[in-house]
Chains A and B, each alone.
Chain A
Amino acid sequence: MTDVAEPTTSAAEVVKSGNGRPAPRKKPVRPARIGLHLFLIVLGVLWLVPLVVSLYVSFRPFSETQAKGFLSMPDSFNLDNYDSALDQGDFIDKYWNTALILVPSLILTLFLASMIAFVASRYSWRFNVFFLVLFTAGNLLPPQIMVAPLFQAFRRIPLPDFMSNSGNLNGSNWAIILLHVGFQMGFCTFVLSNYMKLLPKELNEAAVVDGASLWTVYSKVVMPLTRPALAALATLEFAWIYNDFFWAVIFEQRGDDRPITSALANLGGQFVTDTNVVAAASIFVIIPVMIVYFALQKHFIAGLTLGSTKG
């Protein structure tokens, strides 16, 4: 085949590379393809540089990279920076605290969102679209808009000592959970209602004919069929809640109380002199979300595109 992509050539090419069908193994290699790969490889390598170099630097002593630069060959290669980061950053505690916020937030968000998505998308009544609009719009607003009244209100809501170090809702994990649930519910309702709407209407009718209650229709008929959307949302929400920085920075003034991502705000100050420990600390923060991403990549991508391809 020639270098010049004649119309017929590219037509054949397009047919071959059809939707998801595996391309035939022996495809003639054209210079254009090679150029394309070169471009993607160069860009891809550049793309990974911040992460890969961060990882590389985290295994090397500060004094060495100070003398020779980040990209030099290593003389020593060990976990010392991770030890220091663990010592100074208390990451085990922070992981635990993150889990205490993440798990309840995730479960409550999906549970509440699925309920309102169910009643608003499966039953037709006068205001159902209004509620969906309200939820979706609420999710799109920047959280900074409502932070002042929330902060002032939470300060004035007392909590018993075993629930909060500060004696009120402010500064406790409960506040963060409540904020995540209230906020993330908007996006989940949006996605779930889109999804539930596409399930055949006859499902409800049939269940009702069988004498099923509203709750049974929800929990036994609609929810099991919504599982793919729930899995995708759970993965995505895991990352979003894990990655949250804003709420915990504002509402948990004591650095020790914070989950891991927002603990970065105080780590910066502590480690400022030692880039390599900072690199190790960053790796600690990104490990859980990376594991989830690589293990559940499909759900992850599905979650992102769920809200968008139907719209």
Chain B
Amino acid sequence: MTATPSSTEEAVGADRADTAASTKKVGRLGGHGISQFTGTDRRVFLAMLLIPLTVHVLIVWVPTILSIGLSLTKWNGIGLDTIEWVGVENYDQIILGAFQTDFFQAVLNNVWLLLFLFFGPTLLGMFLAYLLDKNLRGSRIYQSVFYTPVVLSLAVVGFIWQNIMYDQQYGLATWAFGGGEAVDWLGNQEFVIEFGGYGLSKNFIAILAAMAWRHTGYIMVLYLAGLKSVDVSLKESASLDGCNEWQTFRHVLFPTLKPINVIVVVITVIEALRAFDIVYVLNTPRNTELLSILTTDNLIGEGADNIGRGSAYATVLFALCIGFVLWYVTNHYRNQESSV
């Protein structure tokens, strides 16, 4: 269940190491750089490093840098010689110019999505994990139930909700809340909260609900794994000290869940920024734009007259995540370095 190799494996491993070590002379390990290897080992080491590295860098990092470069150009994508340097014109257009409305509504929707994922599915997932950690009878069944939507693609989730929940006439959402009338759940672009032409639209809320269905189970599983690894005596002593359930959770359990909290924050932020499938597959009218959707709308298909503009959206997306990603990843490996 957990990340650590089980104790039996470690024991077996150590065992093997012992027998092997007793057979021959002293080895060489912990040397620095490639110099610790010679001959074939050296070539194998380089291959094991360079082949994966090349694939990853060519698919992920080189295109990322090229996107940033392209965001400063105007290009229709046809001939490489038609790439025209325009400086910050694309940014000017999306932030101040003709595409301002799309851009800010998309950024706002990404923000709504982030806030919603934190205050909806994340809290509910944490609460469910807390309940299921109490060793209830049938706990495994509940877990499976809440986890099931997580294994579905967001595209399928969109598809199922569109037809079963949000069908204008027969959908279950219409049946439950429509009061006998047809409701256009995914088509209604009216704002519920509005300020200065931007806001939170009704059809975006419908999409958020479908996303919550999938995200909750994910968070629940992560917290369950965390709670299972909390020392039982900790919970025990807290209640002996007279803590009530909330105090135990707030002051004893929650602080020990810090590594999980960090992971959940990372997953939630990343999910909120990369969400794409569900909005694309539902093909809803305006006010459900996301940065990821704008990026691809401007790269392929009908509106794709300027790859530079699409790349400018992509660069904004990159700017929003890279600091966060690097903070998390460097912290992760630094902690690991010190703990090993």
Asked if B115 is at the interface (CB within 8 A of a chain A CB), the reply is no
> In this assembly, does B9 line the interface, its C-beta being within 8 Å of a C-beta of chain A?
yes
Known: A138-B56, A200-B14. A206 touches B300 (CB 8 A): no
Distance in Å from the Cβ of B160 to the closest Cβ of chain A? 5
Closest to B124 in A: A43
Let me know if A50 and B164 touch, CB within 8 A.
yes
A-B contact count (CB 8 A): 403
| Contact yes or no, A309 B156, CB < 8 A | no
Contact B145 A205, beta carbon cutoff 8 Å:
no
Contact with A along B322-340 (1 / 0, CB 8 A): 1001101110110111001
Is A134 interfacial (CB 8 A cutoff)? yes
Interface hits, A270-297 → B, CB 8 Å: 275, 278-279, 281-282, 285-286, 289-290, 292-293, 297
Q: Are A286 and B21 in contact (CB under 8 A)?
A: no
For B62, give its contact among A131, A134, A149 (CB under 8 Å): A149
Give the distance to chain A from B258, nearest Cβ to Cβ, in Å.
10
Least CB separation from B153: chain A residue? A243
Residue of A nearest to B210 (CB): A50
- Given A112-B52, A126-B33, A141 and B262 contact (CB-CB distance below 8 Å): no
Bound form: Cα–Cα A23–B133 in Å: 12
The answer to whether residues A245 and B277 also contact, given A54-B164, A185-B52 and a CB cut-off of 8 A, is yes
Does A135 interact with chain B (Cβ within 8 Å)? Answer: yes
B198 contacts chain A at the CB level, 8 A cutoff: no
A139: chain B residues at CB < 8 Å are 60
Q: Chain A contacts of B182 at CB under 8 A?
A: none
CB distance from B336 to the nearest CB of A (A): 7
The residues of B that contact A77 with a CB separation of less than 8 Å are: none
Query: Would B27 and A213 count as touching, CB distance under 8 A?
Result: no
CA distance A201 to B167 in the complex (A): 59
Are A141's CB and B146's CB within 8 A?
Answer: no
Q: Are B55 and A185 in contact (CB under 8 A)?
A: yes
Q: Which chain A residues have a beta carbon within 8 Å of chain B's beta carbons?
A: 7, 10-11, 14-20, 23, 33, 36-37, 39-40, 43-44, 47-51, 53-54, 57, 65-66, 69-71, 112-113, 115-116, 118-120, 123-126, 129, 131-153, 178-179, 181-183, 185-186, 189, 191, 194-195, 197-211, 213-215, 218, 225, 228, 239, 242-246, 249-250, 253, 261-262, 264-265, 267-268, 275, 278-279, 281-282, 285-286, 289-290, 292-293, 297-298, 300-302, 304-311
